[in-house]
Amino acid sequence: MADLFSSSKSGKAEAKGKSSYSAKDIEVLEGLEPVRRRPGMYIGGTDEAAMHHLAAEILDNAMDEAVAGEASRIELSLDPDNWLTVRDNGRGIPVDPHPKFKNRSALEVILTTLHSGGKFSAKVYETSGGLHGVGLSVVNALADELEVEVAREKKLWVQTYGRGKPKGKLKSAGSANRRGTTIRFHPDPEIFGTEAEFRPARLYRMARAKAHLHRGVEIVWSCDKKLIGPKDETPEKAVLHFPGGLSDFVTEALGDRRSFTPQPFAGEGKLGSNGEAEGRIEWALTWPADGEGQIDSYCNTIPTPQGGTHEAGLRTGLSRSIKAYGDLVGNRKASQIIADDIMEGALGALSVFIRDPQFQGQTKEKLASSGVTRLVEAAIKDHFDHWLASDPATANRLLEALIERAEERAQRKRDKEQVRKSATRKLRLPGKLADCSEGTSDGTEIFLVEGDSAGGSAKQARDRRTQAVLPLRGKILNVATATSEKMQGNQEIADLALALGCGTGSRFELSKLRYERVIIMTDADVDGAHIASLLITFFYREMPDLIEAGRLYLAVPPLYRLTQGGHSEYARDDAHKEELLKNAFKGRAKIEISRFKGLGEMPPPQLKETTMDPTRRTLERVVIPQGTHKETQKRVESLMGRKPELRLKFIQENARQAADLDI
């Protein structure tokens, strides 16, 4: 079972190769109240998008059963009134009584306890989604009604739940001559609102991707006709089965476009060498002539839209291989090619299966398992070398196309450098700005930091080549209440606009922005949150296109450091601290907890490690969710604007949702 917080550390100890499951293997940690109290912590929000994580989670569990070779067919059906049913023909969730809980079945424990991942043996659960999935229990907690049916050992079992609590006992419902698990549920309107609904197109896309990722599974899709909108091309019924796996996916995605490779570069294999299998890899890639590509990556069939270590391996594998091929055929220009040239125009998918995957980011959309990079690189390099050598005509065509792309990129860079140089010469930069040295905005970022002391730490912690730091003094002006005169005269705002170089309001020009990313970095406390709100309001009012372009971010500094012996972990808030205390440490040795009063207090190396280093930090992108412009405008006006009564109203209406006010 895929489970967000199952600790890989405790899981590993059990890799002894048992092949049958028993109820005592389930590790019990806690009840479901935390999930209902803070749904966002588990599924990344409470909007419609987050609601789809529930569907993904159930589907992931069924997929796990298929990838383990135990299920061959999965049914997914969307009924009216927002009920979703997922059924697999796997072994069925175990129903035997749980030894620790009298009168409770393993099934009930799995559905009602957070983190009831098991200490799975490697054999039973070779490719569990591990940390990513939020677990059946999280779905159960966030469904106002859920029905589960298990067909196992010739018997049929049923049980129903409401908001995570069993409505009755697990009941035997006669005999069964099939096997498998069926879960039917309805997302709780108290959590997601009464308007949120599953989107057929989105579920269908999810199901298709899964079917491409495991050729041994057939996914049967059905959706009530009434739910499909007039412009929606989602079929009412479909059987998704792709014997060609990812190659089928690429062929379809390419459509009737021309590509530099008549056949996709596709393959599969074991990850790891010298007999020690560390996982599996499968890929299919092509390079469309129009340069419009996209690479979808997955780990254990779970999408990783933010990439991660497996994509990093693909990048280096491909670029080393093509450069080596250039060398081989004596093409000097091949040395200019960089990984971006190969990746940006590529169309395809990469899928890895590994044990105990580690995911990163709020919604766990990035693979963090570090060993994977090297393994993927080795597998890809090896196969790509052979593939290029075996078809020189195709290889040369691809090489020429990539060289052309590299040359164009170099030209663009020269043009931009010219622009920036002339722009910066004219422009006097604010004195407090510690600018970066890079000639163009590509890959650069500016940190807007609260206060001179934090600014000082940030200046020491940064990478001078790509990271600039602008300290801002205290609370900046609230642009939602200030007159334009007051704004013109405000030093902090003037400095900020000068540093960014892109103008404000109607004179804003995105192409003049001097950095690729603008990162607000404030303390992890209420004052910090206030300053961040003021800054976001400024950007929202004066440079909305900068937000729209996805260029505004929030840094996520930690609030606590937890240390046990030489092992440290950082927590961004109290809940995260509690979670780490529970899961991230072994043994009984004392865990020291220190609370950072502010960024300025943090030694620069720690600030770098936790918050600034692009390879280790987490950033939150500031977005205006699609289709919510009107609401956003109103919300900003009521929360930040001139009318205090709107604020009061908002507080009165929403105070109930503030579970843990910091007062």
Instruction: Give residues in contact with ligand 28F (CB under 6 A).
Output: 1, 21, 25-26, 58, 61-62, 65, 86-88, 90-91, 93-94, 110, 118, 120, 124, 136, 181-183
Quote the least distance from Cβ 506 to ligand 28F, whole Å: 53
Between the two ends of the chain, the Cα-to-Cα distance in Å is: 39
Q: 136 or 499: whose CB is closer to ligand 28F?
A: 136
Q: 21 or 192: whose CB is closer to ligand 28F?
A: 21
Quote the least distance from Cβ 181 to ligand 28F, whole Å: 4
Quote the least distance from Cβ 654 to ligand 28F, whole Å: 35
Write out the H or E segment, with its range, that includes residue 300: none
Query: Is the C-alpha dihedral spanning 172, 178, 181, 185 positive or negative?
Result: negative
527 is known as an active-site residue? yes
Distance (Å, whole) CA 253 – CA 241: 16
525 is known as an active-site residue? yes
Q: 88 or 435: whose CB is closer to ligand 28F?
A: 88
Decide: 69 and 216 in contact? Cβ < 8 Å: yes
Q: 219 or 580: whose CB is closer to ligand 28F?
A: 219
Decide: 333 and 325 in contact? Cβ < 8 Å: no
Buried b (16+ CB within 10 A) or exposed e, 433-469: bbbbebebbeebbbbbbbbeebbbbbbebbeeebbbb
Q: 21 or 538: whose CB is closer to ligand 28F?
A: 21
Distance (Å, whole) CA 143 – CA 185: 6
Quote the least distance from Cβ 23 to ligand 28F, whole Å: 8
Q: What is the DSSP letter of 105?
A: B
Instruction: List the catalytic residue out of 14, 48, 144, 527.
Output: 527
Quote the least distance from Cβ 305 to ligand 28F, whole Å: 23
Residue with tokens 């039917």: 184
Of residues 129, 151, 147, 165, the one with CA closest to residue 84 = 147
Instruction: List the catalytic residue out of 79, 382, 463, 525.
Output: 525
C-beta nearest to ligand 28F: residue = 118
Quote the least distance from Cβ 63 to ligand 28F, whole Å: 8
613 is known as an active-site residue? no
Q: 90 or 345: whose CB is closer to ligand 28F?
A: 90
Instruction: List the catalytic residue out of 126, 450, 569, 579.
Output: 450
| The residue type at 223 | C
Residue with tokens 């001559």: 177
Label residue 654 exposed, middle or buried (CB < 10 Å: 0-12, 13-18, 19+): exposed
Quote the least distance from Cβ 70 to ligand 28F, whole Å: 7
Q: 110 or 250: whose CB is closer to ligand 28F?
A: 110
233 is known as an active-site residue? no
Taking residue 172's Cβ as centre, other Cβ atoms within 10 Å add up to 11
Query: Is the C-alpha dihedral spanning 40, 46, 49, 55 positive or negative?
Result: positive
Active site residues per annotation: 450, 523, 525, 527
